Amino acid sequence: MTSNHDLFVRACARLPGGVNSPVRAFRAVGGEPFFTRRADGPYLWDVEGNRYIDYVGSWGPMIVGHNHPHVREAVERAVKDGLSFGTPCEAEVTMAETIARLVPSVEMVRMVNSGTEATMSAIRLARGATGRSRIVKFEGCYHGHGDAFLVKAGSGALTLGTPTSPGVPAALADLTLTLPYNDFEAATRLLDEVGGDVAGLIVEPVAGNMNCIPPREGYLQHLRALCTQHGALLIFDEVMTGFRVALGGAQAHYGVTPDLTTFGKIIGGGMPVGAYGGRRDLMQQIAPAGPIYQAGTLSGNPVAMAAGLAMLELVQAPGFHDELARRTRLLCDGLQAWADGAGVPFTTTRVGAMFGLFFTAEKIETYAQATACDVPMFNRFFNAMLERGVFLAPSAFEAGFLSSAHTEDVIAATLDAAREAFAEAKAV
């Protein structure tokens, strides 16, 4: 039998760090990653046959659990007709219509192949449409690995302690201004100063790459008002939140309308997909309708569209998001109770089926607070949970995701593991 360790040794010889995406490598939490052979419902099985309850969900896409038959069968049907056409296909049109119906601010959409492509393209559109160069992002927010965004970024960039990557030219990084998330005053001041030069302000409406930090009440409305006042485009990066925190995403949940929105994860149903869209007058400026260039050989791929459409059908079931939110609350409340019982300083955040676990007693609202949490304690908790068959995101700076396959029984099993794990994490 192949072991996880043998595979990791082989992987490290040929893949930088042994992985194709940094945070998978378990560098932050110590140890070596496991290699998944199969996934079903709320579970992953590694090559050694160990089973894990999975709260990563392929980092967000698997909102109905792994290997859902409805999605798998849609993919199987699509594959029978060919893998890629290089011409338009009907599924792309249906996808665009579906997104526009579920997220009304998205009057037109362009499909791409990842969240990174979506955000890079949205920024180009913002710059092209406004004739301005600067963009504003938030410290600890991650928008993929585009040059413009690797400035005070979150996720793997934060976990590895390299918020600004070598290889990003200073001249480009200079065009990216950063703000502290959830700080009203700082946003007002910055835009008062340079708002006339700002093409777009991009934000994760619920921050999910510095752990999970919901916006303060009125914060997204404040950003909306500032952007309108200064003629900058408001871009919601809903790669994580889209179709997850509510059917219409964070913009529906909080009632704020951005000019542009980026998507990924759930709209691909597990296939490599992203999308950006928004106001018709802006999207009409994208080639070939307009002069702002952006293209993709595999964009709107028929198999990926089939997976995404099947996933979007499932999340439209009545009460789907309410039930997910209820179960996420059960999980978070249960964890809190065991942490309190063990005398571990701990707090959680959650919006819909997205949650954050913080080893601190404080209510968390800022990036500075998130980074000040007890990271070694999180790492011990992560490993104690992993040993008991529960896979949390392998970093203190990632959000967790629940799926509809996480039944109350699965949550109860998770909480049983957590009871011991809190005690173990504390005992060091």
Cis peptide before 288 (omega within 30 of 0): yes
Give whole-number Cα distances, 127 to 102, 197, 392, in Å. Answer: 27, 10, 38
- Which are the contacts of 30, defined by CB distance < 8 A and separation ≥ 6? 379, 383
What is the smallest separation between the CB atom of 367 and ligand PMP, expressed in angstroms? 14
105 versus 262: smaller Cβ distance to ligand PMP:
262
Which residue in 43, 55, 142, 254 is the catalytic one?
142
144 versus 308: smaller Cβ distance to ligand PMP:
144
What is the rounded CA–CA span in Å between residue 364 and residue 361?
9
Among 55, 59, 263, 378, binds ligand PMP (CB under 6 A): 59
Determine whether 152 is an active site residue.
no
DSSP 167: T
DSSP 25: G
Helix runs in 231-374, H state only: 249-254, 280-283, 302-315, 320-342, 367-371
Residues linked to residue 358 through DSSP beta bridges, in sequence order: 347
Long-range contacts of 88-93 (CB under 8 A, 24+ apart): 88/300, 89/300, 89/302, 89/305, 91/300, 91/302, 91/305, 91/306, 91/309, 92/300, 92/302, 92/305
Q: Which stretch binds ligand PMP (CB under 6 A): 87-95, 137-145, 278-286, 377-385?
A: 137-145
Kindly state whether residue 142 participates in binding ligand PMP, applying the rule CB under 6 A: yes
What is the smallest separation between the CB atom of 274 and ligand PMP, expressed in angstroms? 6
Q: Cα-atom radius of gyration of the chain, to the nearest Å?
A: 21
195 versus 208: smaller Cβ distance to ligand PMP:
208
Structure tokens at 399: 């959000």
DSSP 145: S
Are the C-beta atoms of residues 198 and 232 closer than 8 Å to each other?
yes
155 versus 414: smaller Cβ distance to ligand PMP:
155
Of 111, 147, 145, 142, nearest to 127 by C-alpha is: 147
Kindly state whether residue 119 participates in binding ligand PMP, applying the rule CB under 6 A: yes
Kindly state whether residue 209 participates in binding ligand PMP, applying the rule CB under 6 A: yes
What is the rounded CA–CA span in Å between residue 262 and residue 260?
7
Q: Which stretch binds ligand PMP (CB under 6 A): 37-45, 92-100, 227-235, 236-244?
A: 236-244
Which residue in 237, 254, 259, 367 is the catalytic one?
237
# chain residues binding ligand PMP, by CB under 6 A: 17
Determine whether 43 is an active site residue.
no
Among 105, 114, 182, 299, binds ligand PMP (CB under 6 A): 114
Site string for ligand PMP, 367-386 (x = CB under 6 A): --------------------
Among 71, 239, 310, 405, binds ligand PMP (CB under 6 A): 239
What is the smallest separation between the CB atom of 371 and ligand PMP, expressed in angstroms? 18
Kindly state whether residue 347 participates in binding ligand PMP, applying the rule CB under 6 A: no
What is the smallest separation between the CB atom of 422 and ligand PMP, expressed in angstroms? 27
DSSP string, 36-86: EEEEEBTEEEETTS-EEEESSGGGTT-TT-BT-HHHHHHHHHHHHT-S--S
What is the smallest separation between the CB atom of 142 and ligand PMP, expressed in angstroms? 5
Q: Which stretch binds ligand PMP (CB under 6 A): 95-103, 108-116, 242-250, 408-416?
A: 108-116
Which residue in 137, 219, 254, 265 is the catalytic one?
265
Kindly state whether residue 264 participates in binding ligand PMP, applying the rule CB under 6 A: yes
What is the rounded CA–CA span in Å between residue 125 and residue 262?
12
Between residue 274 and residue 313, which ones bind ligand PMP under the rule CB under 6 A? 274
Kindly state whether residue 204 participates in binding ligand PMP, applying the rule CB under 6 A: yes
The angle subtended at Cα 41 by Cα 394 and Cα 307, nearest 5°, is: 95
What is the smallest separation between the CB atom of 31 and ligand PMP, expressed in angstroms? 22
Kindly state whether residue 237 participates in binding ligand PMP, applying the rule CB under 6 A: yes
Among 116, 251, 349, 366, binds ligand PMP (CB under 6 A): 116
Positions marked catalytic: 142, 237, 265
Q: Which residues bind ligand PMP (CB under 6 A)?
A: 59, 114-116, 119, 142-144, 155, 204, 208-209, 237, 239-240, 264, 274
